[in-house]
Structure 1
Amino acid sequence: MSQQFDVCIRGDGVVGRTLALLLARERLRVALVSPPPEVQSAPASPDVRAYALNAASKTLLEDLRSWPDTLLDQTPAVTPVLQIEVQDSSLADSLLDFSASQLGQPALTWIVDVPTLEQQLAQAVRFSPQIEQLTAPVKAALQVVCEGKHSSSREEFGASYSIKPYGQKAIAAHLESSLPHQGVARQWFDGGDVLALLPLAGPDANAVALVWSVSNDHADALQAMTDEDFCAALQKVCGPAVGQLSLTSKRACWPLALASADRWVGPGWALAGDAAHTIHPLAGQGLNLGLADAQALAKTLAEREYWRALGDEKLLRRYERSRRADVAAMGMVTDGLYSAFSHSAGPLQALRQWGMRGFARSGPLKSWVMRRATGL
């Protein structure tokens, strides 16, 4: 007799695996679908993306016993961010400064090594008897699409995906600095470009992760540079305060867009993570939103009336309503910041600086925003 499943999750990335583990705890039978080995593309180089996880995401992953610890060489896989400095490249000093001590917390966020997190979740999935890993979708009471922004299943369920391209690409890489990062994440707004250096390899290390959002043409030019010229261009924006930077990895590059599905749920199906929405990476909230989706959907299913089916559309709309407002709000914030900093004209620049400095002195408002962003 063939295996019967309650939920089929299409996509075994971080969000898909997290959702599978949450549903397995509710004694639901889960099919977790990944592409067959013959169609999976082998990575050309190690993954250099940097995930910034907030307190809510950390608590969720710890509860699932999937919070990463150390790499194979005993390098810390998680680095706490103790301070965030935001700077307009036209100013000599920081425009905004956030610190964990202001909130009375051990960290503002945590920068996590992507492969290690994926391995931790994969190991937890393998040890769960409620989860079966498959290479093709199967019949189930509920189909959940966690395939990412390039999902091939959205149209199958009648969901359209509206995309607002930013005309930018993100360049990611790992670097070594001549100075320790001291747990400080730094961000520069430079015209329409956004550059972030995120601390890696533990609180006392010199390693940093780069996320540099630039125009498509600029990205292509930067990608064509030698390592030495690329670091020189990077150093020109960062200045001497971060120390001398040198590349320790290859560079990755991908296009940026604000996107959202018109419907997240329907009879017998739901979307989660990047399959439902994407935002600009300047606030580092993309994966946090996806993990919150997984948690909200699992909670909705766990709290359903005993007579209501898993694929009941009215039930699934509770999940959609619980998440749409938060996702839309974060999308508006990141889109608004991108728009505000993409203009370098004198009057607009002066107004922006005045507004940001006012926010920095606002006290309660600044604290509220910090707590929201850190998942507190």
Structure 2
Amino acid sequence: MNATAPRPGSTRRFDVAIRGAGVVGQTLALLLARDRLRVALVGTTRAESGQSDVRAYALNAASRELLRSVRAWPEAGPQDERTPPITPVSAMQVWGDDGGELRFSAEDQGADALTWIVDVPALEQRLNDAVGFQGSIERVSEPPQAALTVVCEGRRSQTRDELGLEFDVRPYPHKALAARLRCEQPHGGIARQWFANGEVMALLPLGGETGNSVALVWSVPAQQADAWLQADPETFTQAVQARSAQALGHMHMESPAQAWPLELARAQRWIARTAQGGVALAGDAAHTMHPLAGQGLNVGLADVGELARVLQQREYWRELGDPKLLRRYERARAAEVGAMGWVTDGLFGLFSHDDTRVQALRNWGLSGFDRSGPLKRWIARQAMGQAGA
């Protein structure tokens, strides 16, 4: 039996306890329940806690297939005709600060879309509904004993700190601003990004292919971010319009702006063994990176996809919390996550540099990369989650 709200306790025996009921935690719960494991999901969803979220996620093909496999992909239905929960990205345009330009298109990749922009509340609701229909998942408010505990609590994980799993953090001097904006002109299914004056701004299309709403993600120095949060809506949108070269015409805000600090972080160890059983970290509890590549949630979903695969393919005699088993997961994910963090950190460092010689070099490189042919297609496949395609 499953409950829609967390229970204070349970007498059931569980194979896996998942701490954290966000997108990553709920996806893992559904993956494990599909393999007939008894799962305790600890914590509340964002909606249950009364928190709002104006962010939108850019999910690649691998993430889409993973969510589809647990029936949690927020497909648009008749009730969503006015505001579809997913928007396919047909092209991406990137501009540097001195004429550099880069463009990717789904057509060039032979794909239906480069990525899909997914509304956060719609995705969380679809996951919540799927969990509610899964009898082998029980929501609880207190962590039960289990053979394996998976920590998906996010970057400020209390459980990770209690276990003494060191989390190396290098803060960036920037914060990310997020808001929803309605634009005078339709976005055309194009994701747009600007690197200029040490800032990174992205406008992600929302509301379906013909929509005219966008999700703003704007990386700015921390003090400026705090000032923008206090600015009136007209001043804020005028600044966005100016920095986006009026690409979508006049804008007005559909939500107040929100901000959060940016950092590059990674756990030194992703697994541990306690007297109660094995422990593994996943998602932001294991790593965080700059959002400029839009890969944060894709990487977190890849974590739980790999962990579920490792557990499903374990030897029949091996316990779920066996350190040797969990090391397979850690080894499989550490290299890829490290490489993605290195790439995003390098791009941020390159485009935040104010030396004019560096500016000229990076814009020449941006335009040169746009003409690189096979290399450009390979990079696009990596970002789309189609590395083997």
TM-score by length of 2: 0.92
Q: 1:102 aligns with which of 88, 105, 108?
A: 108
Query: 1:205 corresponds to which letter in structure 2?
Result: G
Conserved? CA contact 1:89–1:237, under 8 Å: no
User: How big is the shift at 1:216?
Assistant: 0.4
Query: 2:285 corresponds to which letter in structure 1?
Result: A
User: How big is the shift at 1:61?
Assistant: 0.7
> Are residue 249 (structure 1) and residue 255 (structure 2) matched?
yes
* Residue 334 of structure 1: aligned partner: 344
Q: 2:88 aligns with which of 80, 90, 93?
A: 80
Conserved? CA contact 1:35–1:136, under 8 Å: no
Query: 1:248 corresponds to which letter in structure 2?
Result: E
User: How big is the shift at 1:170?
Assistant: 0.6
> Are residue 266 (structure 1) and residue 272 (structure 2) matched?
yes
Query: 1:140 corresponds to which letter in structure 2?
Result: A
> Are residue 321 (structure 1) and residue 331 (structure 2) matched?
yes
Partners of 1:191 and 1:325 in 2: how far apart? 32
Conserved? CA contact 1:89–1:190, under 8 Å: yes
CA pair 59-73 structure 1, distance change in 2 beyond 3 A = closer
Instruction: Give CA-to-partner distance per residue, 1:194-217, whole Å, 9 cap, x none.
Output: 000000000001111100010001
Secondary structure at 2:247 match in 1: helix
Partners of 2:111 and 2:57 in 1: how far apart? 19
* Residue 190 of structure 2: aligned partner: 184
* Residue 291 of structure 1: aligned partner: 301
> Are residue 233 (structure 1) and residue 212 (structure 2) matched?
no
Instruction: Give CA-to-partner distance per residue, 1:246-288, whole Å, 9 cap, x none.
Output: 1111111111001111100122100000000000000110000
Q: 1:2 aligns with which of 5, 11, 16?
A: 11
Partners of 1:207 and 1:280 in 2: how far apart? 24
Point out where structure 1 has 5 or more consecutive residues left out of the alignment: none
Conserved? CA contact 2:56–2:120, under 8 Å: yes
> Are residue 350 (structure 1) and residue 363 (structure 2) matched?
no
User: How big is the shift at 1:73?
Assistant: 5.4
CA RMSD of aligned residues (A): 1.5
Query: 1:285 corresponds to which letter in structure 2?
Result: Q
Point out where structure 2 has 5 or more consecutive residues left out of the alignment: 1-9
Secondary structure at 2:159 match in 1: coil
Partners of 2:87 and 2:184 in 1: how far apart? 18
* Residue 217 of structure 1: aligned partner: 223
* Residue 53 of structure 1: aligned partner: 59
Secondary structure at 2:314 match in 1: coil
Query: 1:80 corresponds to which letter in structure 2?
Result: P
Partners of 1:153 and 1:66 in 2: how far apart? 27
Secondary structure at 1:97 match in 2: strand
> Are residue 302 (structure 1) and residue 312 (structure 2) matched?
yes
Partners of 1:276 and 1:239 in 2: how far apart? 37
Instruction: Give CA-to-partner distance per residue, 1:329-361, whole Å, 9 cap, x none.
Output: 110110000000001321111111122222111
| Percent identical residues | 56
Partners of 2:28 and 2:248 in 1: how far apart? 38
Paired residue total: 370
Secondary structure at 2:158 match in 1: coil
